[in-house]
């Protein structure tokens, strides 16, 4: 009985090891098909850039639209007591890693 269990355990190891892969494999690069799906990415990316500098942004607002096959988000964050414009764009159906972000803040 112990021998059979050992064989089953060893047979399962390649599957488990293959599933874990490298640390970067745990991140799922989502495909974005609608402008509304770009909004959370845009907010998180903008906030992360400030938080990395120990600045806490707040009051996110955004609107979104598409034009042809390009999806757009126009947002604002409150930083340093001022509104900072944030713009994001991506081709429809592209992976989120190809999204572009622009933040109108010279301190970044």
Burial state string for 59-90 with b = 16 or more CB within 10 A and e = fewer than 16: ebebebebeeeebbbebbbebeeeebebbbbb
Q: Stretch 63-75: mean pLDDT, rounded? A: 97
Q: Stretch 74-84: mean pLDDT, rounded? A: 95
The percentage of the chain sitting over the pLDDT mark of 70, rounded to a whole number, equals 74
Spell out the residues 6+ positions from residue 45 whose beta carbon is closer than 8 angstroms to its own: 88, 99, 101
The percentage of the chain sitting over the pLDDT mark of 90, rounded to a whole number, equals 68
């Amino acid at each position: 009985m112990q021998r059979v269990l050992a064989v089953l355990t060893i047979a399962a190891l390649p599957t488990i090891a293959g599933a874990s892969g490298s640390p970067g494999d745990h991140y799922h690069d989502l495909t974005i098909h609608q402008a509304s799906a770009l909004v959370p990415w845009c907010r998180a990316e903008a906030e992360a850039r400030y938080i990395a500098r120990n600045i806490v942004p707040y009051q996110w607002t955004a609107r979104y639209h598409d034009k042809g096959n390009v999806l757009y988000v126009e947002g604002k964050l409150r930083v340093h007591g001022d509104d900072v414009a944030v713009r994001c764009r991506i081709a429809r159906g592209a992976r989120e890693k190809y999204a572009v972000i622009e933040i109108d803040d010279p301190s970044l």
